[in-house]
Amino acid sequence: MSDEKLALVNEIADSGDLIVGYTDGSGSATVSNYTDDAEVGDIVKVEETIYRSDGDRAVEVVKKGGYDRGRTIGVVEAIFDENIAVRTENGLAEINRPDETIEEGYTIAITPSQTFSQVLSEDPIEITPKPDLEVDAINLNLGSDNEDEQEQTKEKSLYKPENIEEVSFDDVIGLQDAKDRLTEAVSLPMEKPDKMAEFDLEGRFGILFYGPPGTGKTMMAKAAANEWGSSDSFFHIGGPEIVSKYYGESERQIRDVFEAAKQKAEEEDKPAVVFIDEIDSVVPRRDRADETERRIVAQFLSELDGLEDRGDIVVIGATNLIEVIDPAVRRPGRFDEEIEFSLPDAGERRSILKVHSQNMPVSSTVDFQDIAERTRGWSGADLESIVKKAGLIAVKEDRPEVHHEDFMIALERFDEQREAKRRQLKEVRQQE
């Protein structure tokens, strides 16, 4: 049975998918919309599917308009074509520009879902920021005269690297072309700097991974970091986590990521790796973006263009949707290397199944070749899930080993789930 979580709908994508933030604070995500009437600001129930390539889905609107936590009061700071910036005690918030006439300096109320509620006064009130708020999040134009205070705020806001598991290229099944190109792009310049200089060549420190979900992009990024000796200098950033509703906050977070990586590279005297998953949410095509998204793209491009001055930083972006990324991001000098991740072939599927079941008691009746042939079009993540499902079935039946029969039952359930999803999508399209 799939897990369920509650989430607030922050935005509805052109595809109809929902961009949500989980109410337990675990982050943001883009989920399929299986509700009939979800709107921005609603609380929805999200099912976390077993098979990651299927994607999580919102299945029910739990609370229209979100939970009533009271309105936020703020003063209009700036007015743009589509949005307005409002100063609140929580910092600068950016909301959609309402149809109602408003001017800079107006005091307004904002709903819990960050939408305009009403004009309270044509005069501004005094806004007192919360004491634990960072300076940059409160006011983009004001700073502290105290250099120590500025430095403390800067340190507080910086991202921290994670210590990644010991995974190497040998642990990644298949994808040999990706491994070879990563070696050419980054490893060779590190190992042979003098030879690179002799040939007037530079390392390519902007790399874009693209391909279907579950094909090993994250695992490959971690393996590459280990190969480069940067296992403790790996910054794993989820693209949707950077995108903030507060005015200027997304740009600040992007600056912080690169500044933190620069500091880590200098401290350790080795490359730092910035891995941005779902990078398409950070740098969408600007001809289809709103003003907020265009500012974020511009800030990201500025950071990429400044990599030469930031020392040894390798930036890896990962996306399932390369076609929606802004073309400027893919120009020479930015993401020079684009590496495609494809679904595994039959031989690779067999190897993946064996790797994920190697720590399980597996019966000699299990025919991995047969399972591999039955799972054409499956990703590595799907195959890992089916192994776990087969193991759970064996445990439920109180068997000492996983049998081929357990895999067949797991496959049947997977097919049923896929078919149910296809029916639901067909019904949604018919309703449209």
* φ and ψ of 25, to 5 deg: 80, 10
Report d(CA 191, CA 325) in Å as an integer.
32
Q: Which pLDDT belongs to residue 132?
A: 43
What does the DSSP 8-state code read for residue 290?
-
Beta strands in 97-229 (DSSP E): 107-110, 116-121, 206-210
Q: Which pLDDT belongs to residue 209?
A: 93
Higher pLDDT, 249 or 316: 316
Q: Which pLDDT belongs to residue 134?
A: 40
Report d(CA 98, CA 83) in Å as an integer.
8
Q: Which pLDDT belongs to residue 246?
A: 58
**Do residue 101 and residue 45 come from a single domain?**
no
Report d(CA 202, CA 199) in Å as an integer.
9
Q: What is the pTM of this model?
A: 0.59
pLDDT in tens, 336-374: 889 999 889 999 999 999 988 988 999 999 999 999 999
**Do residue 42 and residue 93 come from a single domain?**
no
Which range of residues forms the domain containing residue 83?
Answer: 72-143
Q: Give the CATH number, domain containing residue 32.
A: 2.40.50.140
**Do residue 216 and residue 330 come from a single domain?**
yes
**Do residue 198 and residue 83 come from a single domain?**
no
**Do residue 399 and residue 426 come from a single domain?**
yes
Report d(CA 45, CA 37) in Å as an integer.
13
Q: Which residue has the tokens 């390539």?
A: 53
Using alpha carbons only, how large is the chain's radius of gyration in Å? 24
Q: Give the CATH number, domain containing residue 384.
A: 1.10.8.60
Residue 333 reports pLDDT greater than 60: yes
Total domains present in the chain: 4
**Do residue 336 and residue 274 come from a single domain?**
yes
Which residue, of 108, 143, 178, is where some domain finishes? 143
Look at residue 201 and tell me if it is in a domain: yes
Higher pLDDT, 186 or 212: 212
pLDDT in tens, 66-91: 654 456 788 888 888 778 888 887 77
Report d(CA 143, CA 149) in Å as an integer.
10
Look at residue 155 and tell me if it is in a domain: no
Report d(CA 99, CA 164) in Å as an integer.
49
Mean pLDDT value of segment 98-106: 86
Look at residue 323 and tell me if it is in a domain: yes
Q: Give the CATH number, domain containing residue 114.
A: 2.40.50
**Do residue 194 and residue 315 come from a single domain?**
yes
- Contact present, 40 and 8 (Cβ < 8 Å): no
101: left (phi over 0), alpha (psi -120 to 50) or beta: beta
* φ and ψ of 336, to 5 deg: -70, -35
Which residue, of 23, 38, 63, is where some domain finishes? 63
**Do residue 220 and residue 314 come from a single domain?**
yes
What is the chain's mean pLDDT, rounded? Answer: 78
Q: Which pLDDT belongs to residue 320?
A: 87
Structure tokens at 227: 């190969």
**pLDDT over 70 percentage in the chain:** 80
**Do residue 133 and residue 262 come from a single domain?**
no
pLDDT in tens, 126-172: 665 554 444 333 333 333 344 444 444 444 444 678 778 788 888 88
**Do residue 385 and residue 331 come from a single domain?**
no
The strand order across the sheet containing 234-238 reads 234-238, 272-277, 313-319, 206-210, 337-340
Q: Which pLDDT belongs to residue 143?
A: 36
Q: Which pLDDT belongs to residue 317?
A: 92
CA torsion sign, 364 to 368 to 369 to 374? positive
Look at residue 138 and tell me if it is in a domain: yes
Report d(CA 229, CA 225) in Å as an integer.
6
Look at residue 159 and tell me if it is in a domain: no
pLDDT in tens, 396-428: 889 999 999 999 999 988 887 767 766 766 665
Which residue, of 286, 305, 340, is where some domain finishes? 340
Q: Which pLDDT belongs to residue 23?
A: 66
Report d(CA 156, CA 84) in Å as an integer.
28
Look at residue 150 and tell me if it is in a domain: no
Q: Which pLDDT belongs to residue 391?
A: 92
**Do residue 186 and residue 292 come from a single domain?**
yes
**Do residue 234 and residue 304 come from a single domain?**
yes
